[in-house]
Structure 1
Amino acid sequence: MASKSRWATDDDPETEAILAQRKREKDEKRRAKAEKQRQLDEQQQARAQQESDPHPKKRRRLSNDHEQDPSITTTPTNNTSTTTHESTILPFPTQEWGPCRNVSNFERLNHIEEGSYGFVSRAKDITTGEIVALKKLKMDNSPDGFPVTGLREIQTLLEARHQNIIDLREVVMGDKLDEVYLVMPFLEHDLKTLLDDMSEPFLPSETKTILHQILSGLDFLHDQWIMHRDLKTSNLLLNNRGEVKIADFGMARYYGDPPPKLTQLVVTLWYRAPELLLGAEKYATEIDMWSIGCIFGELLTKEPLLQGKNEVEQVSKIFALTGPPTPQTWPDFRSLPNAKSLRLPPSSSASAGNPPLLPRGKFPFLTNAGLHMLSSLLALNPGARLSTKECLAHRYFREDPRPKPKEMFPTFPSKAGMEKRRRRETPEAPKRGQEAPKLDFASVFGGQGGGEAGEQGAGFTLRLG
């Protein structure tokens, strides 16, 4: 009997139905694939046409709402839908552009201080009730337009986002074009006012906490190639949570490597580095580190370390503290413009160390590690000064007592917040010549001072006589 060929088909209707179903599925897949390829070709043609046309006919849609986007087409194919986008724009979270708010949205509470580049006031946001600091920029010295100091401060604050740097919330306008205000968080104290009101300086652990935060914020600035150029205690703010923030960036600016030629009239006189006083025009972050050394000394003594009345007296006070410069301690000293006419006393003996240590009698309660760090910050030679990273890693912060946690930092009444120190009513001392009063102690234990033999007290009876 001849075997049946495996290619032969039976006339079974069930088998024929299965084969027909498979054929239909293949045809549907073939049509879906062809439709998808056609749509891809249309997309490529549309992109090529948009790239070749510099002026598109339709404005690009910036919203990611695909439900109302007419450029999205849906093609159904046998209970399957294919979504096609003519152009896909990736949405990125950005700040919304709009007009500045008016200063009338803030209720000014009291004036805080006047700085070199603005007036600072305490104010309340009427909408949220939040207490903020309003700084009105000074426009008097800028007849040609917006002051460059204000532009630098706004640019620097927008770029420098750090926990130890003051935050710029927004810029608001007044009724006139020359009324520009910076809105910043309100901090209760500045270190200068706080040190003036304190009867004693900060504890060593508190000094380390403050100094470490200042160095952390300054380290971030230097990593961003920003020099502050006006560090002093009045520009360092402290809140009641023990957080220190660097403020007042009116003199801040970017620098490069090698440093560009810059103006030498920067930094408040008492915190100005010696190379600036002697006419240096090229400098970098070393001038900020000298200011940190002056602030460090002020935290220790509660008084500004170098209080000169003018540049000449300031230089003399610096040399009286650090000693006169020598070829060993400051090799490039004579190359500065104002140093050529300076007459130095003959040096008796070479100081030990480079840089030499400051006199111990000026800082009697400072440890050896702290004195080494302070001497390195106040080194006459800019190249010998410590950087922010070297200071943060210094052993001074690792020895006992350790920096006090911010949560345990003491609080003080805020002058800027119009807070007054609470004074308890205490009796005055007796006046001389005053007669002693006649006293009747019969009512000490609740009696009425009569002639009764028994007096009722607080839960007991006292029998007199």
Structure 2
Amino acid sequence: MSASKSRWADEDPETEAIIAQQKREKEEKKRAKAEKQRQLDEAKRAQDTAQTDNSAQAPNGDSGPPKKRRRLSNDPDATADDEVPGSEKQAQKKPSTLLRFPVREWGTCRHVDNYERLNHIEEGSYGWVSRAKDINTGEIVALKKLKIENSPDGFPVTGLREIQTLLEARHQNVVYLREVVMGNKMDDVFLVMDFLEHDLKALLDEMREPFLPSEIKTLLLQVVGGLDFLHSQWIMHRDLKTSNLLMNNRGEVKIADFGMARYYGDPPPKMTQLVVTLWYRAPELLLGADKYGTEIDMWSIGCIFGELLTKEPLLQGKNEVDQVSKIFELTGPPNSQIWPGFRSLPNAKSLKIPSNSSSLSGSLPLLPRSRFPYLTNAGLGLISELLALNPASRPTTKQCLAHSYFREDPRPKPKEMFPTFPSKAGMEKRRRHHTPEAPKRGQEAPELDFAGVFGGAPGGDSGEAGAGFTLRLG
């Protein structure tokens, strides 16, 4: 006999029929209740979806607040829907997890004693650079101690800018800042950076012959590539020169020394005109411009290009007046056709432009072929654009990288094929460069008189007539 069958079934068929009928009714009620619960769940989901759509369409809250608080993923309190037995949410319910993302945390700097200083390399305008070894890993690094002693306002803004920009400028052609370490005093602040064996200025001084054309292209592409990344991050370097371009024995070049770098905007804000080392300073800065953009970096690239070609700095002025005269000797005098609005610059009012210079064409003039006898026409066009007097005529980094000069023969040499050079930084102090130092922060721009630039009156502080040359036109 079945366990579910009544023991009186055989004796009373009527009772058995009644029991079977009750079972059917009970099962019917269960199915109706489950169907009703399913409909309630679907109605609630539709209502939640409608409230979400209304909130998206009326972010100011015109549709009123939601009737129930939405449960977060890490909310330990379960809602009523999750507690309903047999519901879909109960079946899909999983333990809540809190997602965590790696972020920088505040902490103390490591001590400089974690590094063993090996030898001094050189002194710059904003710090002393030494070669050091990480005691824990044995890696060789560059240790730069910031100059803080003569800063009247506490921590120098140049150091803050250098740290900030280097932390943001993560690029293969920008020197890598590993960390900032401290000494025993608050004035002992050190930047720990990757060590590179050479700088381009020291290499050019030691080389018997300049770099090959294919090597110059490779060097320029790397420098302009790194500068393109900086400009895309709204960072101006403002002190590009060959001594600030480091190179290792694998042919890799990295931009260094960000003491004068700063963020800028569009339109650029009012800034100091006393930036960039004199021999690499753009003419608009020398004429007193206090609003400028990335064009000043492109002028410095043009000076570096010329230095790579000739092994000597292209424009070696004794002072600001002499520097302006050497620029105009190379490019020709400015006029309103090739440089509109230059007369509005503060120091341009004293310039006495020769009368016959106004007849020059308004097109961009090429630099004299005699200064770069082995340069191709495309190369001469590129350096002429980079050293254009009018900042608006200079190419951007992207335009420079796409120039036909880099696509003609000889093609850029692969970095792996670059020659190696003995490292001066690894053995002894680098030879002192015979170049002017970068301007120091807080230094006031001198009052300049450019009346004698084109001859006839003493120029600069050396008393040389016409700052050392007479301009010939035609």
Q: TM above 0.5, one fold?
A: yes
Aligned to 2:177, the other structure's residue is in SS state coil
Alpha carbons of 1:346 and 1:130: their partners in 2 closer, same or farther (altered >3 Å)? same
Q: Secondary structure at the match of 1:162?
A: coil
Greater shift after overlay, 317-326 or 205-214? 317-326
1:109 maps to 118
- What's the CA shift string for 1:7-36, capped at 9, x where partnerless? xxx98x99x99999999999999999999x
Identify the residue that residue 138 of structure 1 maps to in structure 2: 147
Whether 1:195 and 2:204 are equivalent positions in the alignment is yes
Contact 2:181/2:192 (8 A) holds in 1: yes
How far apart are 1:167 and its partner, in Å? 1.2
User: 2:366 aligns to what?
Assistant: 357
How far apart, in 1, do the equivalents of 2:28 and 2:166 lie? 69
Higher mean alpha-carbon deviation, 338-347 vs 293-302, is at 338-347
Give a deviation string over 1:428-463, Cα, whole Å, max 9, x none: xxxxxxxxxxxxxxxxxxxxxxxxxxxxxxxxxxxx
Aligned with residue 374 of structure 1, among 370, 379, 383: 383
Does residue 164 (structure 1) correspond to residue 173 (structure 2)? The answer is yes
Q: What corresponds to 1:245 in structure 2?
A: 254
What secondary structure, in the 3-state scheme, does the structure 2 residue paired with 1:157 have? helix
* Equivalent-residue separation in structure 2 for 1:25 and 1:129 (angstroms): 75
SS in 2 for 1:347: helix
1:274-308 Cα deviation digits (max 9, x unpaired): 11111111110111010000000000000000011
Residue 306 (structure 2) aligned to one of 283, 297, 305: 297
Aligned to 2:265: 256
CA RMSD of aligned residues (A): 3.5
Q: Which residue of 1 aligns with 2:184?
A: 175
Matched residues in 1 for 2:70 and 2:91: separation? 28
> What is the alpha-carbon distance in structure 1 between the residues aligned to residue 78 and residue 257 of structure 2?
51
Q: Does 1:186 align with 2:214?
A: no
* Equivalent position to 2:402, from 384, 389, 393: 393
Asked if 1:280 is matched to 2:289, the reply is: yes
Alignment correspondent of 2:161: 152
Distance 1:411 1:98, change over 3 A: same
* Partner deviation per Cα, 1:299-335 (whole Å, 9 max, x = no partner): 0000000011100111111111111112222122211
Work out which of the residue numbers 263, 270, 274 in structure 2 matches 1:265.
274
> Could you say if the C-alpha distance between residues 29 and 137 of structure 1 is closer, same or farther in structure 2, counting changes exceeding 3 Å?
farther
After superposition, what is the alpha-carbon deviation per residue over 1:238-292, rounded to whole angstroms, capped at 9, x for unaligned? 1111111111111111111111111000000000001111111111011101000
Q: Within 2, Cα distance between the matches of 1:166 and 1:202?
A: 22
Deviation at 1:49, TM superposition (A): 11
Choose which of 197, 217, 222 in structure 2 pairs with 1:213: 222
C-alpha distance in 2, partners of 1:32/1:82?
A: 17
Gapped regions of structure 2 (runs ≥ 5) = 1-15, 49-65, 430-474
Give the TM-score, by structure 2 length: 0.73
Query: How much has 1:354 moved relative to structure 2?
Result: 2.4
Q: How many residues align?
A: 388
Residue 353 of structure 2: which of 324, 337, 344 is its match?
344
> Do the aligned partners of residues 24 and 377 (structure 1) sit closer, same or farther apart at CA in structure 2, a change above 3 Å counting?
same
- Please give the alpha-carbon distance, in whole angstroms, between the structure 2 residues aligned to 1:191 and 1:362: 21
2: distance between equivalents of 1:405 and 1:268? 31
1:412 is the counterpart of 2:421 = yes
Q: Separation in 2 of the partners of 1:138 and 1:179?
A: 9
- 5 Å-filtered alignment, 1:304-319, equals 304-319=313-328
**What does 1:5-20 align with in structure 2 at a 5 Å threshold?**
none
| Cα distance change, pair 285–24 in 1 and its aligned pair in 2 (3 A) | same
1:203 and 1:189 map into 2 onto residues whose CA distance is 18
Pair 1:328 & 2:337 matched: yes
Gaps of 5+ in 1: 1-9, 51-63, 421-465
Task: Write out aligned runs for 1:45-64 (5 A).
Answer: none
In structure 2, what is the equivalent of residue 446 of structure 1?
A: none
Higher mean displacement: 205-214 or 404-413: 404-413
Q: Report the CA distance between 1:97 and its aligned residue.
A: 3.2
Residues 304 and 27 of structure 1: is their aligned pair in 2 closer, same or farther, counting only changes over 3 Å? same
Q: Alignment partner for residue 131 of structure 2, among 122, 130, 154?
A: 122
- Counterparts in 2 of 1:106 and 1:94: CA distance versus 1, 3 Å: same
**Are 1:72 and 1:84, in contact at CA under 8 Å, matched by a contact in 2?**
no
2:108 corresponds, among 93, 99, 108, to 99
d(CA) in 2 for partners of 1:82 and 1:322?
76
Tell me which of the two structures has the higher relative contact order, counting C-alpha pairs closer than 8 angstroms and 6 or more residues apart: 2
Larger-Rg structure? 1
Q: Tell me the SS of whatever aligns to 2:217.
A: helix
CA contact (8 A) 1:286 1:383 kept: yes
Alignment check: 8 A CA contact 1:76 1:82 kept: no
CA contact (8 A) 1:72 1:83 kept: no
CA gap of 1:372–1:71, structure 2 versus 1, over 3 A, is: same
- For residues 19 and 113 of structure 1, the distance between their equivalents in structure 2, rounded to whole angstroms, comes to 97
Taking a change above 3 Å as real, the CA distance of residues 300 and 145 of structure 1, as seen in their structure-2 partners, is: same
Residues of 2 paired with 1:132 and 1:209: CA distance? 25
- Structure 2 distance, partners of 1:348, 1:148, is 43
Once the two structures are TM-superposed, the CA of residue 75 in structure 1 deviates from its matched residue by 9.3
Give the Cα–Cα distance (whole angstroms) in 2 for the partners of residues 19 and 129 of structure 1. 84
Contact 2:119 2:428 in 1 (8 A): no
Residue 47 of structure 1 deviates from its aligned partner by 6.4
